């Protein structure tokens, strides 16, 4: 592993630790606004969101860069990659600097002053130049994970630019266009980083099993194209209630329903998974990948239900949306990224005593996240029922019983902090060892 | 594989162009300079941390899509100036408060954040009828 990659991983893990600590503080600041007066919720939320978002993107790119080096047979470091890293880390630190002095100016998930999008864009172009320069030299007929990495990198660029189109008055001067383009880009961007992360997950599965066939063949590509169609066209479920043209809603609804095929495929694959589980029981990478598949299953059911507009009417704008966001970012993305970083750091080569801590951390996380996830769903159901079915308009009265449920969520969040904190601590220790 | 990828990408590009140009179904009221200034204030104050528009944003305070209609201008002005139990006083000047109100009034005129039951089709989708002329 190069020194640059070590910095990349270290920075990504630091972002995860920040997201966890600040997320827990934000949960209690939400419930007890007068209790944690030191940093108000309005300031904690963007710090938490940006740390989580940049953890996922930084973790995804760290895996992608490292494994593509192995895959493409690169032996030397790259100035393009170093340039990306300097610009990327520097700009993200500046983002937190602006939050620290209460300077915003952006929109949901990207609350920092919009000028900072420029260096982030340049950093991404450097990363793409580094990747595609090596990609061009590669032999034809690449396995699926290479397609996924390439598509993820390209679509992140497209959606990041789209996310900033509101700087052009033509987009901003029409509120329906403004909100549509904002959530079109946000929705597809999630699909873009999922391409990079799932590509790495597939790569790891191929290496674990030694079976290249997993990443080749007609069936896997058909499923991938189905997923890619979702990235491109199903973002409309974010804005079902916005009075846009009806076809935006109908296209999103139709495309989302194709996800039932994924669900059926997961259920059909359960038996094979059970056999696989017996073989790879003690491998850290595999256990994190398996945990992510469990969360894919749960979140897919939730996503499918939320994608039906008649149900979305009750869930939109409630904590069920948060459950879906947290379930996917922690349960799926973070688990895969921890598998990926664990492989890069060679965690499986550690003595059993040290690996045991990771196992404990993973178990605490899974149990806490389950409580956390169900509490958010319960809070969302309650809010949906009281606001839509009962038509309550007094916000504080409507939220009173919801907030009681959210205490369960906040305390379970401390469990997630503890569980993932143990894993992050073990990874940091390993990263700082000269032999890593 | 490459052909399928290119076909999908072209479809995505075409759909994007269609969304940009026709996604609003012709329901448009152009923003005035004051509305634009109000939108800037909304973003600079990071109002979306606690409030939603069309159910998108934070969860600490109410959805403000139709607050202009529901609460009225004076009540909104008082909240912005003095805050309330959970909302901090944002120390906005008069011009910024006027801009924010103009922005929220503009958002309010685009439609309703809650879909009424009569707009839900038996197939599960919505057919939202325009609420503004």
Contact check, Cβ <8 Å, B19/A184: yes
Interface check for A104 against chain B (CB to CB < 8 A): the answer is yes
Count of CB atoms situated within 10 Å of the CB of A389: 10
pLDDT of residue B21: 94
Among A215, A342, A225, smallest CA distance to A291 is for: A342
Helix axes A319-326, A284-306, angle to 10 degrees: 150
Contact check, Cβ <8 Å, B39/A228: no
Residue A184 and residue B122: Cα distance in Å, rounded? 26
Give residues with Cβ within 8 angstroms of A93, minimum separation 6.
Answer: none
Interface pTM, i.e. ipTM: 0.93
For B49-89, write each residue's pLDDT tens digit. Answer: 999 999 999 999 999 999 999 999 999 999 999 888 788 88
Contact check, Cβ <8 Å, B120/A309: yes
Q: How confident is the model at residue B90 (pLDDT cuts 50, 70, 90)?
A: confident
pLDDT of residue B133: 39
Q: Tell whether B23 is covered by a domain.
A: no
Q: Tell whether B5 is covered by a domain.
A: no
Q: Higher pLDDT residue, A363 or B116? A: A363
Interface check for A108 against chain B (CB to CB < 8 A): the answer is yes
A408: tokens are 């369960």
Q: Tell whether B12 is covered by a domain.
A: no
Contact check, Cβ <8 Å, B16/A108: no
Up-side HSE of residue A362: CA atoms within 13 Å toward CB?
25
Q: Tell whether B112 is covered by a domain.
A: yes
Helix then strand count (H, E) for chain B reads 5, 2
Structure-token match 């504080």, residue found:
A396
Q: Write out residues 223-242 of A within 8 Å (CB-CB) of B.
A: 225, 228-229, 232-233, 238-242
Choose the closest CB to B54 out of A177, A221, A241: A241
Residue B27 Rama label (left phi>0; alpha psi -120 to 50; beta): beta
Three-state DSSP class for A48? helix
What is this structure's pTM? 0.93
For A55-79, write each residue's pLDDT tens digit. Answer: 999 999 999 999 998 888 887 778 9
Residues of A in contact with B2 (CB under 8 A): none
Residue A39 and residue A46: Cα distance in Å, rounded? 12
DSSP A9-25: HHHHHHHHHHHHHHHHH
φ/ψ (deg, to 5) at A182 = -60, -45
Interface check for A138 against chain B (CB to CB < 8 A): the answer is no
Q: How confident is the model at residue B121 (pLDDT cuts 50, 70, 90)?
A: confident
Choose the closest CB to B61 out of A169, A229, A395: A395
Residues of A in contact with B103 (CB under 8 A): none
Question: Which of A172, A242, A251, A389 best probes binding to B when mutated, by most B CB atoms within 10 angstroms?
Answer: A242
Q: Higher pLDDT residue, B96 or A72? A: B96
Q: How many domains does chain B have?
A: 1
Interface check for A187 against chain B (CB to CB < 8 A): the answer is no
CA distance B121 to chain A (A): 8
Where are the extended beta strands (E) located within B44-88? 52-53, 56-57
In eight-state DSSP terms, residue A75 is -
Among A245, A103, A235, A120, smallest CA distance to A182 is for: A235
Domain boundaries, chain A: 258-436
Q: Residue A266 in contact with residue A297, Cβ under 8 Å?
A: yes
In eight-state DSSP terms, residue B110 is T
Contact check, Cβ <8 Å, B107/A175: yes
CATH of the domain at B46: 1.10.760.10
Q: Tell whether B80 is covered by a domain.
A: yes
Range of the domain at B87: 31-133
Structure-token match 């060892």, residue found:
A433
Interface check for A388 against chain B (CB to CB < 8 A): the answer is yes
**% of chain B exceeding 90 in pLDDT:** 70
Residue count of chain A? 436
Count of CB atoms situated within 10 Å of the CB of B81: 14
Contact check, Cβ <8 Å, B62/A111: no
Helix then strand count (H, E) for chain A reads 17, 0
Superfamily of domain A258-436: Cytochrome c oxidase-like, subunit I domain (1.20.210.10)
Choose the closest CB to B50 out of A42, A107, A233: A42
Residues of A in contact with B19 (CB under 8 A): 180-181, 184, 248
Contact check, Cβ <8 Å, B126/A105: no
pLDDT under 50 in chain A at which residues?
A: none
Contact check, Cβ <8 Å, B125/A180: no
Interface check for A311 against chain B (CB to CB < 8 A): the answer is yes
Three-state DSSP class for B120? strand
Give exposure, A29-43, as e/b (b: 16+ Cβ within 10 Å): bbbebeebeeebbbb
B101: tokens are 């109100």
Contact check, Cβ <8 Å, A177/B23: yes
Residue A44 and residue A33: Cα distance in Å, rounded? 11
Q: Residue A295 in contact with residue A416, Cβ under 8 Å?
A: no
Question: What are A428-436's contacts with CB under 8 Å, separation 24+?
Answer: A428/A10, A428/A13, A430/A345, A430/A346, A430/A347, A430/A350, A431/A6, A431/A9, A431/A10, A431/A13, A431/A345, A436/A1, A436/A6, A436/A345, A436/A346
CA distance between the termini of chain B? 48
Residue A31 and residue A217: Cα distance in Å, rounded? 51
Give exposure, A270-302, as e/b (b: 16+ Cβ within 10 Å): eeeeeebeeebeebbbbbbbbbbbbbbbbbbeb
Interface check for A253 against chain B (CB to CB < 8 A): the answer is yes
Q: Tell whether B68 is covered by a domain.
A: yes
pLDDT of residue A436: 62
């Amino acid at each position: 592993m190069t020194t640059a990659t070590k910095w990349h991983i270290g920075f990504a893990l630091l972002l995860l630790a920040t997201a966890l600590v600040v997320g827990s503080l934000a949960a209690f600041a939400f419930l007890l606004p007068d209790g944690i007066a030191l940093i108000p919720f309005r300031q904690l939320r963007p710090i938490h969101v940006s740390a989580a978002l940049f953890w996922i993107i930084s973790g995804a790119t760290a895996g992608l860069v490292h494994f593509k080096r192995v895959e493409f047979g690169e032996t030397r470091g790259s100035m393009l990659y170093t340039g990306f890293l300097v610009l990327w880390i520097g700009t993200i630190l500046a983002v937190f600097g602006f939050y620290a002095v209460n300077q915003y100016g952006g929109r949901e998930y990207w609350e920092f002053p919009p000028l900072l999008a420029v260096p982030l864009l340049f950093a991404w172009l450097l990363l793409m130049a580094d990747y595609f320069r090596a990609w061009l030299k590669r032999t034809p007929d690449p396995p699926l994970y290479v397609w996924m990495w390439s598509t993820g990198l390209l679509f992140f660029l497209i959606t990041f630019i789209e996310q900033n189109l509101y700087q052009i008055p033509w987009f901003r001067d029409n509120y329906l266009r403004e909100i549509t383009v904002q959530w079109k880009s946000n929705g597809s961007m999630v699909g873009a980083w999922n391409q990079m992360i799932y590509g790495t997950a597939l790569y790891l599965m191929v290496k674990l099993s030694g079976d290249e066939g997993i990443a080749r063949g007609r069936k896997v590509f058909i499923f991938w194209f189905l997923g890619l169609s979702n990235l491109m066209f199903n973002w409309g479920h974010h804005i079902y209630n916005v009075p846009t043209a009806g076809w935006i809603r109908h296209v999103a609804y139709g495309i989302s329903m194709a996800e039932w095929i994924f669900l059926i495929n997961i259920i059909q694959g359960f038996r094979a998974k059970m056999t696989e589980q017996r073989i790879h029981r003690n491998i850290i990478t595999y256990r994190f990948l398996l945990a992510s598949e469990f969360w894919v299953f749960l979140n897919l059911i939730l996503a499918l239900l939320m994608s039906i507009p008649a149900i979305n009417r009750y869930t939109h704008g409630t904590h069920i949306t948060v459950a879906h966001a947290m379930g996917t970012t922690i349960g799926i993305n973070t688990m895969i990224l921890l598998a990926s970083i664990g492989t890069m750091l060679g965690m499986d080569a550690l003595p059993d005593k040290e690996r045991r801590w990771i196992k404990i951390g993973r178990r605490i996380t899974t149990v806490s996240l389950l409580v956390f996830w169900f509490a958010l769903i319960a809070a969302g159901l309650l809010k949906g029922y009281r606001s839509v079915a009962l038509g309550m308009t007094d916000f504080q009265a409507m939220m009173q019983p919801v907030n009681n449920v959210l205490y369960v969520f906040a305390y379970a969040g401390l469990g997630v902090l503890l569980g993932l904190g143990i894993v992050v601590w073990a990874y940091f220790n390993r990263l700082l060892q000269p032999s890593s | 594989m490459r052909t399928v990828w290119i076909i999908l990408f072209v479809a995505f590009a075409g759909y994007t162009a269609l969304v940009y140009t026709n996604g609003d179904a012709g329901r448009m009221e152009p923003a005035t300079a004051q509305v634009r200034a109000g939108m800037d204030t909304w973003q600079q104050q990071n109002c979306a941390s606690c409030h939603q528009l069309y159910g998108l944003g934070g969860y600490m305070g109410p959805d403000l899509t139709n607050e202009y209609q529901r609460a009225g201008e004076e009540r909104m002005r008082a909240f912005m100036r003095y805050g309330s139990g959970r909302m901090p006083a944002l120390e906005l000047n008069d011009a910024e408060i006027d801009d924010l109100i103009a922005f929220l009034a503009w958002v309010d005129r685009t439609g309703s954040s809650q879909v009424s039951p009569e707009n839900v089709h038996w197939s599960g989708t919505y057919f939202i009828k325009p609420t503004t002329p």
